[in-house]
Homo-oligomer: A and B are copies of this chain.
Amino acid sequence: MSIVINSPLDMHLHLRDDDMLKVVAPLSATSFSGAIIMPNLIPPITTKNKLIAYRKRVIDASKDSSFNPYMTLFFKPTYSKEFLSKVKDEISAIKLYPAGITTNSEGGVSGFDIKELKNTLNAMSELNIPLAIHGETNGFVMDREAEFASIYEMLALNFPNLKIIMEHITTKESVALLDRFDNLYATITLHHLLITLDDVAGGMLQPHLFCKPIAKRPEDRASLREVAFKAHPKVMFGSDSAPHPQDKKEASFCSAGVFTAPITLQLLTELFLENSNLDNLQKFISTNAQNIYNIEVPKKEVILEERDFIVPTKYGDIVPLYAGEKIKYSIKEIIC
């Protein structure tokens, strides 16, 4: 059997900046046709100039002309329709972070006051700019995403023409929202299909599996797997691959983020061949996203084979998921 994935897309990716960008961008660019690039730099991407400059740095670092970075702005409730009209052609989405909820999100939204948000969200609706949301409250860590469901509902109801992407969903509550509101979509990561809180903290504590939202309960993972494996048309793959240097992970205060980009296709292939099929993997990792975002993507054919691959212990100074472990599939060839 030949295993071919066409034009894979990563609809939620952190590439960071500077030296880190140079390490990680090629690792995604080589095997993906494109990725939604998150804007939570320091300072965040909030202007057209910053956006264009960052896009150029991403392209330069990618070293692969068959990789398209789909750029995002960091949501501010002060964005006017005039500003958004000018920046519209440069972005694929605007990413909303609740303030302080994850890495470099301090300048995000505090409270969800519809009066404060409506001008920007109405303008985004009119201009057909998707809103990508990190959906967590400041509540107890295991409840944050489920508690955010009411905010997703409020936004979906009040802005019916706004395309809202629930990013990196981790709970059955978020999955349930997909079929309740026409304008809610979701990305799902690789690691949330693989792990639960038991993997993070049930045996020894594993900082390289620590991310936000934190991995939840077995029944939550089952719910994510169900919609991913059947390639629910409103669900897309988004790795949320989030690199940190090893000394920020194996530390007394460990940063949130799992680095999966270089082994994503291999592990998704294993997961889907064991639990679903290649057709659904193709939808999950490319077709659904093309339909939802209404984008055309560079042609890229990734051919995999069943051959052991030992995950490197590090890429630069970043420790990936399953560092040093053997996984079942390898990338054989990439045809652009």
Contact = CB atoms under 8 A, between A and B. Distances in A.
Nearest to A200: B201
A201 B253 contact: no
Interface in A43-84: none
Interface string A185-229: 000000000001110111011111010001001100000000000
Identical copies in the complex: 2
A250 interface: yes
Interface residues of A, number: 28
Given A201-B201, A205-B205, A210-B205, A252 B319 contact: yes
A85 to B, nearest CB: 38
A240 B214 CA distance: 26
A256 interface: yes
A255 interface: yes
A58 B198 CA distance: 35
10 contacts: A140-B197, A141-B201, A142-B197, A142-B217, A201-B201, A204-B254, A205-B210, A207-B207, A208-B252, A250-B252
Given A142-B197, A205-B253, A206-B253, 13 more contacts: A140-B196, A140-B198, A140-B217, A142-B142, A142-B217, A200-B201, A201-B201, A201-B210, A204-B256, A205-B207, A206-B252, A206-B254, A250-B250
